A = this chain, B = another copy of it.
Amino acid sequence: MWFRVDPRLPTPVYQQVVDGIKEAVAKGLLKPRDRLPAVRELAMLMMLNHNTVAKAYQELERERVIEVIRGRGTYVAAPSLLANRSERIVKMSETIKQLCVEAYYLQMTEDDLLTLFQDLMNEWKREKGRNNT
């Protein structure tokens, strides 16, 4: 499977499934038109209840990450422009501000933070590149 879930973590299990699949798609591990496992099948693999997986799939469909065709299955959606784009950018900005706050308490300078950011982004690009040849 493309990700792991851990019921002991504070983040809800269904959210971990959502995040895991979103990350796999963004990385290119899953490509548009790829088929995802059935809710009961993925639930079996991950030792979860099928309702938990179904909740994750519904959230992913709401975010237009996947497309559901009743009676056929679920598929990775083609990239599309999102209606709530600006709203989501505001949330990203909030997250970045929190990173600045956290850096303060770790006694990192702004340059330290920028370097960390660039390093991780390059690592991300490399990972993505490996799946997009």
Binding site for B on A (CB under 8 A): 19, 22-23, 25-26, 63, 65, 79, 81-82, 85, 88-89, 92-93, 95-107, 110, 113-114, 116-118, 120-121, 124-125
Contact of A105 among B26, B105, B124 (CB under 8 A): B26
The 10 sampled A-B contact pairs (Cβ below 8 Å) are A25-B104, A81-B107, A82-B106, A89-B116, A92-B116, A93-B120, A96-B117, A100-B121, A110-B124, A114-B117
Q: Tell me the bound Cα distance from A107 to B79 in angstroms.
A: 8
Q: Of B19, B22, B85, B113, which one neighbours A106 at CB under 8 angstroms?
A: B85
> A48 vs B96: C-alpha distance in the bound complex, in angstroms?
28
Q: How far is the CB of A24 from chain B (nearest CB, A)?
A: 10
Measured CB to CB, the closest approach of chain B to A130, in angstroms, equals 15
